[in-house]
Amino acid sequence: MGNLVHAYTDPHADWWGPDEAAPTIGAGATVGYGALVVGGVRVGPGAYIAAGAVVTRDVDAGSIVTGINCQTARAVWKGRHLG
């Protein structure tokens, strides 16, 4: 439901190959509605990217990401989790 994006920094280059790697999403990870996962980052298995979050850094397995790169271990998460 979210968006996985990568950049084309040279508009005159061949459009069939991106300038950077696409994001890698681990098994069982969730990318919420409207979230952006940008660039060649790795989202670990079982991670949960909340709706509207922006991720530009690697995400640890089982972590919950809210806001902009705000990563919290599931074990210490105080919020409600539906996924």
pLDDT in tens, 62-80: 999 999 999 998 888 777 6
Q: Mean pLDDT across the stretch 35-58?
A: 93
Q: Mean pLDDT across the stretch 28-52?
A: 93
Cα angle value 1/64/47 (rounded, 5°): 65
Mean pLDDT of the chain: 83
Tokens 């508009």 belong to residue: 11
Q: Mean pLDDT across the stretch 2-26?
A: 69
| Lowest-confidence region among 14-18, 25-29, 48-52, 72-76 | 14-18
